[in-house]
Chain A
Amino acid sequence: MDLRNFTFLVYGYSAAMLVIFGYVTLLVLRSRRIDRELTRLKSLVEDKN
Chain B
Amino acid sequence: MRDKVILSLAALGTLLMVWNFNTIFLHLPDEAQQGAIYRIIFIHVPAAIGAYTFYSVAVLSSVMFLVKKNFKYDSLAVACVEVGQVFTLVNLVTGSIWGRIIWGIWWTWDMRLTTQLICFLLYLGYLLLRPSVTEPTQRATMSAILAIFAFADIPIVVMAIRLKNVRTQHPQPVLETGGLDPSFWPPLLISFIAVLLIGCALVMLRLHQETSRREIDYLRREVHAL
Contacts and interface: CB of A to CB of B under 8 A. Distances in A.
A36 to B, nearest CB: 10
Nearest to B89: A19
Contacts, number: 91
B12 to A, nearest CB: 15
Contact of A8 (B37, B205, B219, B226): B37
Q: Name the prevailing secondary structure of the A interface residues.
A: helix
Contacts of A49: 226
A34 B212 contact: yes
A18 to B, nearest CB: 9
Nearest to B226: A48
Interface of B: 21, 25-26, 30, 34-37, 39-40, 43-44, 47, 86, 89-90, 93-94, 97-98, 100-101, 198, 202, 205-206, 208-209, 212-213, 215-216, 219-220, 222-223, 226
20 contacts: A1-B25, A1-B30, A2-B36, A4-B37, A5-B35, A5-B36, A6-B36, A8-B98, A12-B44, A12-B93, A12-B98, A15-B94, A16-B43, A24-B202, A27-B206, A38-B215, A41-B216, A41-B219, A41-B220, A44-B219
